Protein backbone atom coordinates (compact mmCIF):
# COMPACT_ATOMS: atom_id res chain seq x y z
CA UNK A 1 0.00 0.00 0.00
CA UNK A 2 0.97 3.63 -0.44
CA UNK A 3 1.04 5.86 2.64
CA UNK A 4 -1.64 8.33 1.48
CA UNK A 5 -4.32 6.59 3.56
CA UNK A 6 -1.96 5.61 6.38
CA UNK A 7 -3.76 5.08 9.67
CA UNK A 8 -7.20 4.68 8.07
CA UNK A 9 -8.65 1.24 8.80
CA UNK A 10 -10.61 -1.02 6.48
CA UNK A 11 -14.26 0.02 6.70
CA UNK A 12 -16.59 -2.66 8.02
CA UNK A 13 -20.24 -2.78 9.03
CA UNK A 14 -20.59 -1.78 12.68
CA UNK A 15 -23.88 -0.01 13.51
CA UNK A 16 -22.72 0.62 17.08
CA UNK A 17 -19.33 2.12 16.21
CA UNK A 18 -18.26 5.15 18.24
CA UNK A 19 -15.79 6.30 15.57
CA UNK A 20 -16.29 7.59 12.02
CA UNK A 21 -14.69 4.74 10.08
CA UNK A 22 -17.56 2.25 9.96
CA UNK A 23 -20.67 1.55 7.93
CA UNK A 24 -23.71 1.98 10.11
CA UNK A 25 -26.31 1.00 7.49
CA UNK A 26 -24.44 -0.64 4.62
CA UNK A 27 -24.02 -4.33 5.38
CA UNK A 28 -22.90 -5.85 2.07
CA UNK A 29 -24.12 -9.30 3.12
CA UNK A 30 -27.58 -8.27 4.34
CA UNK A 31 -30.34 -9.85 2.24
CA UNK A 32 -32.88 -7.43 0.75
CA UNK A 33 -35.58 -8.79 -1.56
CA UNK A 34 -33.64 -11.98 -2.16
CA UNK A 35 -30.24 -10.44 -2.91
CA UNK A 36 -27.41 -9.03 -0.84
CA UNK A 37 -27.02 -5.29 -0.54
CA UNK A 38 -23.75 -5.55 -2.45
CA UNK A 39 -25.54 -7.30 -5.32
CA UNK A 40 -28.31 -4.71 -5.38
CA UNK A 41 -26.20 -1.56 -5.10
CA UNK A 42 -23.08 -2.50 -7.09
CA UNK A 43 -21.10 0.49 -5.79
CA UNK A 44 -18.38 2.10 -7.91
CA UNK A 45 -15.82 4.85 -7.26
CA UNK A 46 -15.44 7.52 -9.94
CA UNK A 47 -11.74 7.83 -10.78
CA UNK A 48 -12.06 11.37 -12.17
CA UNK A 49 -13.54 13.04 -9.09
CA UNK A 50 -11.71 11.00 -6.47
CA UNK A 51 -8.23 11.06 -8.00
CA UNK A 52 -7.98 13.40 -11.00
CA UNK A 53 -9.90 16.44 -9.76
CA UNK A 54 -7.73 19.17 -8.24
CA UNK A 55 -10.33 21.02 -6.18
CA UNK A 56 -11.12 23.90 -8.52
CA UNK A 57 -14.44 25.59 -9.20
CA UNK A 58 -15.66 28.25 -11.66
CA UNK A 59 -14.10 30.96 -9.50
CA UNK A 60 -10.87 29.44 -8.21
CA UNK A 61 -8.18 26.96 -9.04
CA UNK A 62 -6.51 23.99 -7.38
CA UNK A 63 -6.87 23.47 -3.64
CA UNK A 64 -5.85 19.80 -3.37
CA UNK A 65 -2.26 18.62 -3.16
CA UNK A 66 -1.85 14.96 -4.03
CA UNK A 67 1.38 12.96 -4.48
CA UNK A 68 0.15 11.62 -7.84
CA UNK A 69 -0.49 15.00 -9.45
CA UNK A 70 1.90 15.25 -12.39
CA UNK A 71 2.28 14.43 -16.07
CA UNK A 72 4.41 11.28 -16.07
CA UNK A 73 3.54 7.60 -16.12
CA UNK A 74 5.18 7.28 -12.71
CA UNK A 75 2.57 9.71 -11.38
CA UNK A 76 -0.16 7.69 -13.09
CA UNK A 77 1.01 4.51 -11.37
CA UNK A 78 1.16 6.17 -7.96
CA UNK A 79 -2.40 7.36 -8.60
CA UNK A 80 -3.44 3.80 -9.48
CA UNK A 81 -1.71 2.39 -6.39
CA UNK A 82 -3.54 4.89 -4.19
CA UNK A 83 -6.86 4.27 -5.93
CA UNK A 84 -6.70 0.54 -5.38
CA UNK A 85 -5.73 1.17 -1.76
CA UNK A 86 -8.95 3.13 -1.39
CA UNK A 87 -11.01 0.46 -3.14
CA UNK A 88 -9.65 -2.05 -0.62
CA UNK A 89 -10.38 0.19 2.37
CA UNK A 90 -13.97 0.77 1.24
CA UNK A 91 -14.59 -2.78 0.06
CA UNK A 92 -16.69 -1.59 -2.87
CA UNK A 93 -16.63 -3.87 -5.91
CA UNK A 94 -16.26 -1.51 -8.88
CA UNK A 95 -14.64 1.63 -10.28
CA UNK A 96 -15.15 3.76 -13.42
CA UNK A 97 -12.75 5.93 -15.45
CA UNK A 98 -12.16 8.14 -18.50
CA UNK A 99 -8.95 7.70 -20.47
CA UNK A 100 -7.70 11.17 -19.48
CA UNK A 101 -8.17 10.36 -15.77
CA UNK A 102 -5.69 7.53 -15.76
CA UNK A 103 -2.87 8.53 -18.12
CA UNK A 104 -1.09 11.79 -18.96
CA UNK A 105 -1.75 13.27 -22.40
CA UNK A 106 0.97 12.48 -24.90
CA UNK A 107 2.40 14.73 -27.60
CA UNK A 108 0.72 12.55 -30.24
CA UNK A 109 -2.32 10.31 -30.47
CA UNK A 110 -0.01 7.28 -30.63
CA UNK A 111 1.76 8.31 -27.42
CA UNK A 112 -1.51 8.91 -25.57
CA UNK A 113 -2.78 5.53 -26.73
CA UNK A 114 0.39 3.72 -25.67
CA UNK A 115 0.14 5.31 -22.23
CA UNK A 116 -3.53 4.29 -21.94
CA UNK A 117 -2.71 0.66 -22.70
CA UNK A 118 0.26 0.70 -20.34
CA UNK A 119 -1.78 1.96 -17.39
CA UNK A 120 -4.74 -0.31 -18.08
CA UNK A 121 -2.38 -3.30 -18.17
CA UNK A 122 -1.24 -2.09 -14.74
CA UNK A 123 -4.92 -1.91 -13.70
CA UNK A 124 -5.42 -5.46 -14.91
CA UNK A 125 -2.74 -6.77 -12.57
CA UNK A 126 -4.21 -4.89 -9.61
CA UNK A 127 -7.75 -5.99 -10.44
CA UNK A 128 -6.62 -9.59 -10.48
CA UNK A 129 -4.90 -9.15 -7.11
CA UNK A 130 -7.81 -7.37 -5.40
CA UNK A 131 -10.94 -8.64 -7.14
CA UNK A 132 -12.05 -5.08 -7.93
CA UNK A 133 -13.94 -4.88 -11.23
CA UNK A 134 -14.62 -2.22 -13.85
CA UNK A 135 -18.24 -1.05 -13.96
CA UNK A 136 -17.60 1.05 -17.04
CA UNK A 137 -15.03 2.90 -19.07
CA UNK A 138 -15.43 5.98 -21.22
CA UNK A 139 -13.50 8.55 -23.25
CA UNK A 140 -12.92 12.16 -22.25
CA UNK A 141 -14.00 14.05 -25.39
CA UNK A 142 -14.56 17.38 -23.69
CA UNK A 143 -11.58 18.66 -21.62
CA UNK A 144 -8.94 19.19 -24.31
CA UNK A 145 -9.26 22.44 -26.23
CA UNK A 146 -9.58 20.47 -29.49
CA UNK A 147 -13.09 19.59 -28.31
CA UNK A 148 -14.24 23.13 -27.57
CA UNK A 149 -16.86 22.74 -30.35
CA UNK A 150 -17.67 19.14 -29.51
CA UNK A 151 -16.30 15.82 -30.73
CA UNK A 152 -18.96 13.94 -32.71
CA UNK A 153 -20.72 17.22 -33.51
CA UNK A 154 -17.59 19.22 -34.37
CA UNK A 155 -17.59 21.22 -37.62
CA UNK A 156 -14.06 19.94 -38.32
CA UNK A 157 -13.98 16.34 -39.65
CA UNK A 158 -10.48 15.87 -38.21
CA UNK A 159 -11.77 16.42 -34.67
CA UNK A 160 -14.56 13.90 -35.34
CA UNK A 161 -11.91 11.43 -36.53
CA UNK A 162 -9.69 12.03 -33.46
CA UNK A 163 -12.66 11.49 -31.15
CA UNK A 164 -13.76 8.34 -32.98
CA UNK A 165 -10.23 6.91 -32.83
CA UNK A 166 -10.10 7.68 -29.11
CA UNK A 167 -13.41 5.90 -28.47
CA UNK A 168 -12.10 2.85 -30.34
CA UNK A 169 -9.14 2.64 -27.97
CA UNK A 170 -11.29 3.19 -24.90
CA UNK A 171 -13.71 0.44 -25.96
CA UNK A 172 -10.68 -1.82 -26.44
CA UNK A 173 -9.33 -1.27 -22.93
CA UNK A 174 -12.79 -1.49 -21.36
CA UNK A 175 -13.26 -4.85 -23.08
CA UNK A 176 -9.78 -6.01 -22.09
CA UNK A 177 -10.46 -5.20 -18.42
CA UNK A 178 -13.80 -7.01 -18.42
CA UNK A 179 -15.79 -3.79 -18.12
CA UNK A 180 -19.50 -4.43 -17.71
CA UNK A 181 -20.53 -1.30 -19.64
CA UNK A 182 -19.18 1.36 -21.95
CA UNK A 183 -20.51 4.92 -21.50
CA UNK A 184 -20.67 7.73 -24.06
CA UNK A 185 -20.88 11.10 -22.34
CA UNK A 186 -21.26 14.01 -24.76
CA UNK A 187 -19.91 16.70 -22.50
CA UNK A 188 -19.58 19.26 -25.30
CA UNK A 189 -21.99 17.87 -27.88
CA UNK A 190 -24.14 20.96 -28.14
CA UNK A 191 -24.05 24.58 -29.19
CA UNK A 192 -23.68 28.04 -27.69
CA UNK A 193 -25.31 30.00 -30.53
CA UNK A 194 -27.39 29.00 -33.54
CA UNK A 195 -25.63 31.73 -35.53
CA UNK A 196 -22.75 29.32 -36.25
CA UNK A 197 -24.55 25.98 -35.81
CA UNK A 198 -26.11 23.54 -38.30
CA UNK A 199 -28.24 21.45 -35.92
CA UNK A 200 -29.42 18.96 -38.55
CA UNK A 201 -25.86 18.19 -39.61
CA UNK A 202 -24.59 17.94 -36.03
CA UNK A 203 -27.35 15.52 -35.00
CA UNK A 204 -26.58 13.34 -38.01
CA UNK A 205 -22.89 13.33 -37.14
CA UNK A 206 -23.66 12.39 -33.53
CA UNK A 207 -25.96 9.60 -34.68
CA UNK A 208 -23.38 8.11 -37.03
CA UNK A 209 -20.68 8.38 -34.34
CA UNK A 210 -22.87 6.39 -31.95
CA UNK A 211 -23.71 3.81 -34.62
CA UNK A 212 -20.01 3.28 -35.34
CA UNK A 213 -19.26 2.91 -31.62
CA UNK A 214 -21.94 0.23 -31.22
CA UNK A 215 -20.83 -1.55 -34.41
CA UNK A 216 -17.23 -1.70 -33.23
CA UNK A 217 -18.05 -2.81 -29.69
CA UNK A 218 -20.16 -5.70 -30.96
CA UNK A 219 -17.58 -6.59 -33.64
CA UNK A 220 -14.88 -7.22 -31.03
CA UNK A 221 -17.24 -9.26 -28.86
CA UNK A 222 -18.02 -6.68 -26.18
CA UNK A 223 -21.24 -7.97 -24.62
CA UNK A 224 -21.63 -5.32 -21.92
CA UNK A 225 -24.12 -2.49 -21.83
CA UNK A 226 -23.57 0.55 -24.05
CA UNK A 227 -24.87 3.64 -22.31
CA UNK A 228 -25.49 7.32 -23.04
CA UNK A 229 -25.48 9.73 -20.10
CA UNK A 230 -28.09 12.50 -20.54
CA UNK A 231 -26.71 15.97 -19.81
CA UNK A 232 -28.56 19.29 -20.12
CA UNK A 233 -27.07 22.77 -20.48
CA UNK A 234 -23.71 23.37 -18.78
CA UNK A 235 -21.27 23.85 -20.32
CA UNK A 236 -23.17 24.75 -23.51
CA UNK A 237 -26.49 26.53 -23.95
CA UNK A 238 -28.12 23.45 -25.44
CA UNK A 239 -26.92 19.85 -25.55
CA UNK A 240 -28.24 17.14 -27.85
CA UNK A 241 -28.58 14.57 -25.04
CA UNK A 242 -30.63 16.86 -22.78
CA UNK A 243 -32.63 14.23 -20.85
CA UNK A 244 -33.95 10.67 -21.09
CA UNK A 245 -36.82 11.61 -23.41
CA UNK A 246 -34.46 13.47 -25.76
CA UNK A 247 -31.99 10.58 -25.80
CA UNK A 248 -34.75 8.09 -26.56
CA UNK A 249 -35.91 10.16 -29.54
CA UNK A 250 -32.31 10.34 -30.73
CA UNK A 251 -31.88 6.56 -30.41
CA UNK A 252 -35.11 5.94 -32.32
CA UNK A 253 -33.96 8.26 -35.09
CA UNK A 254 -30.81 6.22 -35.63
CA UNK A 255 -32.19 2.72 -35.00
CA UNK A 256 -30.33 2.22 -31.72
CA UNK A 257 -33.15 1.98 -29.20
CA UNK A 258 -32.54 -1.76 -28.76
CA UNK A 259 -28.74 -1.39 -28.49
CA UNK A 260 -28.14 1.60 -26.22
CA UNK A 261 -29.48 2.38 -22.76
CA UNK A 262 -28.96 5.33 -20.41
CA UNK A 263 -26.73 6.07 -17.44
CA UNK A 264 -28.77 8.58 -15.40
CA UNK A 265 -27.18 11.11 -13.06
CA UNK A 266 -29.13 12.75 -10.25
CA UNK A 267 -27.46 16.12 -10.79
CA UNK A 268 -28.19 16.11 -14.51
CA UNK A 269 -31.83 15.27 -13.87
CA UNK A 270 -32.10 18.35 -11.65
CA UNK A 271 -30.42 20.59 -14.25
CA UNK A 272 -32.94 19.35 -16.84
CA UNK A 273 -35.81 20.44 -14.59
CA UNK A 274 -36.74 16.90 -13.57
CA UNK A 275 -36.42 14.76 -10.47
CA UNK A 276 -34.05 11.79 -10.39
CA UNK A 277 -36.98 9.39 -10.00
CA UNK A 278 -38.72 10.92 -13.02
CA UNK A 279 -35.78 10.15 -15.27
CA UNK A 280 -35.45 6.64 -13.83
CA UNK A 281 -39.17 5.90 -14.23
CA UNK A 282 -39.20 7.17 -17.81
CA UNK A 283 -36.10 5.17 -18.75
CA UNK A 284 -37.73 2.06 -17.34
CA UNK A 285 -41.00 2.74 -19.18
CA UNK A 286 -39.07 3.16 -22.45
CA UNK A 287 -36.96 0.06 -21.87
CA UNK A 288 -33.63 1.89 -21.80
CA UNK A 289 -32.71 1.91 -18.09
CA UNK A 290 -29.07 0.94 -17.60
CA UNK A 291 -27.12 2.45 -14.71
CA UNK A 292 -26.91 5.47 -12.40
CA UNK A 293 -24.45 8.14 -11.36
CA UNK A 294 -25.34 8.83 -7.76
CA UNK A 295 -24.75 12.35 -6.46
CA UNK A 296 -26.72 15.47 -5.59
CA UNK A 297 -26.85 19.09 -6.67
CA UNK A 298 -26.92 22.15 -4.47
CA UNK A 299 -30.43 23.47 -5.11
CA UNK A 300 -29.29 27.05 -4.58
CA UNK A 301 -26.49 26.87 -7.17
CA UNK A 302 -26.89 27.03 -10.92
CA UNK A 303 -24.34 24.43 -11.97
CA UNK A 304 -23.63 20.74 -11.57
CA UNK A 305 -22.06 20.66 -8.10
CA UNK A 306 -21.59 16.85 -7.94
CA UNK A 307 -21.94 16.49 -4.17
CA UNK A 308 -22.15 13.17 -2.39
CA UNK A 309 -25.75 12.08 -1.66
CA UNK A 310 -27.00 12.73 1.86
CA UNK A 311 -30.81 12.71 1.56
CA UNK A 312 -32.35 9.33 2.39
CA UNK A 313 -35.84 10.39 1.16
CA UNK A 314 -34.50 11.38 -2.28
CA UNK A 315 -32.35 8.27 -2.57
CA UNK A 316 -35.21 6.00 -1.45
CA UNK A 317 -37.48 7.28 -4.23
CA UNK A 318 -34.68 6.72 -6.74
CA UNK A 319 -34.05 3.13 -5.66
CA UNK A 320 -37.79 2.50 -5.63
CA UNK A 321 -37.76 3.12 -9.38
CA UNK A 322 -34.59 1.04 -9.80
CA UNK A 323 -36.19 -1.91 -7.98
CA UNK A 324 -39.44 -1.50 -9.92
CA UNK A 325 -37.39 -1.68 -13.12
CA UNK A 326 -36.02 -5.04 -11.98
CA UNK A 327 -32.78 -3.72 -10.49
CA UNK A 328 -29.41 -3.42 -12.14
CA UNK A 329 -28.14 -5.97 -14.65
CA UNK A 330 -24.83 -4.68 -15.96
CA UNK A 331 -25.29 -1.27 -14.33
CA UNK A 332 -24.66 -0.07 -10.80
CA UNK A 333 -24.31 2.89 -8.44
CA UNK A 334 -21.36 5.01 -9.48
CA UNK A 335 -20.50 7.87 -7.12
CA UNK A 336 -20.03 10.66 -9.65
CA UNK A 337 -19.36 12.95 -6.71
CA UNK A 338 -16.46 15.03 -5.48
CA UNK A 339 -15.28 16.46 -2.22
CA UNK A 340 -15.86 20.09 -1.42
CA UNK A 341 -12.73 22.06 -2.32
CA UNK A 342 -12.15 22.82 1.38
CA UNK A 343 -12.07 19.08 2.27
CA UNK A 344 -8.36 18.55 1.87
CA UNK A 345 -7.50 15.43 3.84
CA UNK A 346 -7.26 11.77 2.87
CA UNK A 347 -9.86 10.85 5.48
CA UNK A 348 -12.34 13.24 3.83
CA UNK A 349 -12.24 11.14 0.66
CA UNK A 350 -12.91 7.95 2.59
CA UNK A 351 -15.64 9.37 4.82
CA UNK A 352 -17.48 10.96 1.88
CA UNK A 353 -17.90 7.50 0.35
CA UNK A 354 -18.74 5.88 3.71
CA UNK A 355 -21.54 8.35 4.32
CA UNK A 356 -22.86 8.08 0.78
CA UNK A 357 -22.88 4.28 0.91
CA UNK A 358 -24.81 4.37 4.19
CA UNK A 359 -27.35 6.78 2.70
CA UNK A 360 -27.80 4.49 -0.32
CA UNK A 361 -28.20 1.46 1.94
CA UNK A 362 -30.92 3.17 3.96
CA UNK A 363 -32.59 4.35 0.79
CA UNK A 364 -32.50 0.86 -0.71
CA UNK A 365 -34.03 -0.72 2.39
CA UNK A 366 -36.81 1.89 2.49
CA UNK A 367 -37.50 1.36 -1.21
CA UNK A 368 -37.63 -2.40 -0.79
CA UNK A 369 -40.02 -2.06 2.17
CA UNK A 370 -42.32 0.19 0.13
CA UNK A 371 -42.30 -2.18 -2.81
CA UNK A 372 -42.81 -5.32 -0.73
CA UNK A 373 -45.63 -3.74 1.29
CA UNK A 374 -47.38 -2.84 -1.95
CA UNK A 375 -49.53 -0.01 -0.62
CA UNK A 376 -48.08 2.61 -2.93
CA UNK A 377 -48.56 0.41 -5.99
CA UNK A 378 -52.06 -0.55 -4.84
CA UNK A 379 -53.02 3.12 -4.61
CA UNK A 380 -51.59 3.74 -8.08
CA UNK A 381 -53.42 0.73 -9.52
CA UNK A 382 -56.69 1.90 -7.95
CA UNK A 383 -56.32 5.32 -9.54
CA UNK A 384 -56.04 3.80 -13.02
CA UNK A 385 -58.44 0.89 -12.45
CA UNK A 386 -60.89 2.18 -15.03
CA UNK A 387 -58.37 1.63 -17.79
CA UNK A 388 -58.21 -2.06 -16.93
CA UNK A 389 -61.93 -2.47 -17.52
CA UNK A 390 -63.55 -3.48 -20.80
CA UNK A 391 -64.79 0.10 -21.22
CA UNK A 392 -61.28 1.52 -20.85
CA UNK A 393 -59.86 -0.90 -23.41
CA UNK A 394 -62.76 -0.26 -25.80
CA UNK A 395 -62.04 3.46 -25.66
CA UNK A 396 -58.46 2.95 -26.82
CA UNK A 397 -59.67 0.82 -29.72
CA UNK A 398 -62.41 3.25 -30.73
CA UNK A 399 -62.44 6.53 -32.66
CA UNK A 400 -63.49 10.12 -31.97
CA UNK A 401 -66.85 9.88 -33.74
CA UNK A 402 -67.93 6.78 -31.82
CA UNK A 403 -66.72 8.19 -28.53
CA UNK A 404 -68.56 11.44 -29.18
CA UNK A 405 -71.79 9.57 -29.86
CA UNK A 406 -71.41 7.46 -26.71
CA UNK A 407 -70.77 10.50 -24.50
CA UNK A 408 -73.95 12.09 -25.85
CA UNK A 409 -76.01 8.91 -25.51
CA UNK A 410 -74.90 8.31 -21.91
CA UNK A 411 -75.14 12.00 -20.99
CA UNK A 412 -71.63 11.55 -19.56
CA UNK A 413 -70.66 14.07 -16.87
CA UNK A 414 -67.47 12.79 -15.13
CA UNK A 415 -66.43 14.28 -11.80
CA UNK A 416 -62.79 14.64 -10.65
CA UNK A 417 -61.34 12.30 -8.04
CA UNK A 418 -58.63 13.22 -5.54
CA UNK A 419 -55.08 12.36 -6.44
CA UNK A 420 -54.35 11.89 -2.70
CA UNK A 421 -50.84 13.30 -3.01
CA UNK A 422 -50.49 14.31 0.64
CA UNK A 423 -51.69 10.92 1.89
CA UNK A 424 -49.19 9.17 -0.38
CA UNK A 425 -46.37 11.46 0.77
CA UNK A 426 -47.29 10.59 4.35
CA UNK A 427 -47.23 6.90 3.42
CA UNK A 428 -43.73 7.18 1.94
CA UNK A 429 -42.46 8.93 5.06
CA UNK A 430 -43.45 5.94 7.19
CA UNK A 431 -40.77 3.83 5.52
CA UNK A 432 -37.90 6.29 5.96
Q: Residue 255: pLDDT above 80?
A: yes
Spell out where 84-184 has E strands.
Answer: 94-98, 133-138, 181-184
Going by pLDDT thresholds of 50, 70 and 90, the confidence category of residue 177 is: very high
Give alpha helix (H) positions in 276-415. Answer: 276-286, 312-324, 346-373, 375-383, 390-396, 400-410
Q: Residue 173: pLDDT above 80?
A: yes
Report the percentage of the chain scoring pLDDT > 90. 95
Residues in the chain: 432
| pLDDT single digits (tens) 323-360 | 999 999 999 999 999 999 999 999 999 999 999 999 99
Q: Residue 427: pLDDT above 90?
A: yes
Average confidence score pLDDT of the chain: 96
Residues 216-233 have a mean pLDDT of 96
Going by pLDDT thresholds of 50, 70 and 90, the confidence category of residue 186 is: confident
The pLDDT of residue 298: 84
Going by pLDDT thresholds of 50, 70 and 90, the confidence category of residue 124 is: very high
Going by pLDDT thresholds of 50, 70 and 90, the confidence category of residue 319 is: very high
The pLDDT of residue 9: 97
Do the beta carbons of residue 376 and residue 424 sit within 8 Å? Answer: yes
Q: Residue 301: pLDDT above 80?
A: no
Q: Does the annotation count 98 as an active-site position?
A: yes
Q: Residue 1: pLDDT above 80?
A: no
Q: Residue 235: pLDDT above 90?
A: no
The pLDDT of residue 83: 98
Going by pLDDT thresholds of 50, 70 and 90, the confidence category of residue 105 is: very high
Q: Residue 185: pLDDT above 90?
A: no
What CA–CA distance (Å, rounded) separates 250 from 240?
Answer: 8
Going by pLDDT thresholds of 50, 70 and 90, the confidence category of residue 300 is: confident
Going by pLDDT thresholds of 50, 70 and 90, the confidence category of residue 299 is: confident
Report the percentage of the chain scoring pLDDT > 70. 100
Catalytic residue among 27, 99, 101, 241: 101
Going by pLDDT thresholds of 50, 70 and 90, the confidence category of residue 304 is: confident
Residues 125-129 have a mean pLDDT of 97
Whether a cis peptide bond, with omega within 30° of 0, leads into 227 is no
Using the 8-state DSSP alphabet, how is residue 311 labeled?
A: -
| pLDDT single digits (tens) 66-90 | 999 999 999 999 999 999 999 999 9
Going by pLDDT thresholds of 50, 70 and 90, the confidence category of residue 127 is: very high
Instruction: Calculate ∠ Cα 89-297-419, nearest 5°.
Output: 115
Lowest mean pLDDT across 89-103, 187-201, 298-312, 374-388: 298-312
Q: Residue 275: pLDDT above 80?
A: yes
The pLDDT of residue 259: 97
The pLDDT of residue 57: 87
* Terminal-residue alpha carbon distance, the chain: 39
> pTM of the prediction?
0.96
Q: What CA–CA distances, in Å, run from 265 to 296, 357, 409?
A: 9, 16, 50
Catalytic residue among 40, 49, 85, 98: 98
Do the beta carbons of residue 227 and residue 263 sit within 8 Å? Answer: yes
The pLDDT of residue 302: 72
Q: Does the annotation count 101 as an active-site position?
A: yes
The pLDDT of residue 60: 93
Lowest mean pLDDT across 98-107, 296-305, 396-405: 296-305
Q: Residue 130: pLDDT above 80?
A: yes
Using the 8-state DSSP alphabet, how is residue 386 labeled?
A: G
Residues 114-128 have a mean pLDDT of 98
Calculated CA dihedral for residues 191, 194, 200, 205, nearest 10 degrees: -30
The pLDDT of residue 84: 98
The pLDDT of residue 349: 98
The pLDDT of residue 48: 96
Amino acid sequence: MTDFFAGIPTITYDPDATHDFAYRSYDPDEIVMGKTMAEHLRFAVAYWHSFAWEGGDPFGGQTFERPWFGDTMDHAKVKADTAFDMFKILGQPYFCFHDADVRPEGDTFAESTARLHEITDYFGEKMEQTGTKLLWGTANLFSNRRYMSGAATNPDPDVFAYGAATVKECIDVTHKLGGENYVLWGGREGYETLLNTDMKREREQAGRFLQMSVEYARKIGFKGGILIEPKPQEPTKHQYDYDVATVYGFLKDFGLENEVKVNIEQGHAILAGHSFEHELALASALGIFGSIDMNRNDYQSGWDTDQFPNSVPEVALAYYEVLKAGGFTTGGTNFDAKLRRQSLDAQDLILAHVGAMDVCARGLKAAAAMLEDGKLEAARDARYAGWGSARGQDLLNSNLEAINAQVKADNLNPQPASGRQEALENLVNRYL
